[in-house]
A and B are shown apart, each in its own frame.
Chain A
Amino acid sequence: MAMRQDLIALMPNLRAFARSLCGNPTRADDLVQETLVKAWAKQDTFQQGTNLKAWLFTILRNTYLTEIRKRKREVEDVDDVLAGQLSVAAAQDDYLDFTDLTEALQKLGSDQREAILLVGAEGLSYEEAAAICGCAVGTIKSRVNRARNRLAELMHRDEATAA
């Protein structure tokens, strides 16, 4: 019961992270659902007194990465040429004015996106974010910095207009 209450309390954060990470509300909800099921099934491996939010975010992040790798393999298997064309088209859109930050976030690499979301948006420490992403604290700091600069590049016209 305690775990259930903790999961309920953290669900808004899980949903916000998932939405921002994958940019698709339906996929995000599927991701959160999968995360909850996995967390529930593995709750005996969670050490009481440690950081439940970080544990849940790790599950969600790993589930997301596994899914996009699977999708990437499928695209490559189906049509390598088409995948290449899509990649070029995406690069050409890089300097559009974004009115939707979610759209701009999706232009970041997943490494930078998760770093800026965990630290800049969710407010986790660099140490917590590094633990979730399985990398060094310095790597997270660098990714956050690059992500901030990249978002500023992508959105600066929009922000300048609003200021």
Chain B
Amino acid sequence: MKKGKPDEIVDAVTQRLQRDYQSLVNEPVPDKFLELLAQLDEGAGQQDPVSDDTPLAGDGERPDASSSNE
């Protein structure tokens, strides 16, 4: 592992990460997502999703192999 950067640089990058991420969170959600949920709520969802990516009870189920590090 490489040597750590001075704390102030790491802090500045972390703050910037939070700032940039928060700006993404604050973006308006496109109508298409609300329409999709409305369709699903009305039983119009016609997909039969693959279940292997869906955890069974709140957390923990893994995808089909260990995490990649591409």
- Our verdict on whether A and B bind, yes or no, reads yes
Q: Check B47–A69 contact: CB distance below 8 A.
A: no
Q: State the majority secondary structure of interface residues on B.
A: loop
Chain B residues in 8 Å Cβ range of A32: 33
Report the contact-size class of chain B (Cβ under 8 Å from the partner). Answer: 35 or more
Binding site for B on A (CB under 8 A): 1, 4, 7-8, 11-13, 15-16, 19-20, 29, 32-34, 36-42, 45-47, 50-51, 54-55, 58-59, 61-63, 65-66, 68-69, 72, 101-102, 109-112, 114, 116-117, 120-122, 128, 131-135, 145-146, 148-153, 155-156, 159-160, 162-163
Not counting A55-B59, A149-B1, A149-B4, a sample of 7 additional A-B residue pairs whose C-beta atoms are within 8 angstroms of each other reads A12-B24, A32-B33, A36-B37, A37-B40, A47-B58, A62-B54, A148-B13
Q: How far is the CA of A120 from the CA of B10 in the complex (A)?
A: 11
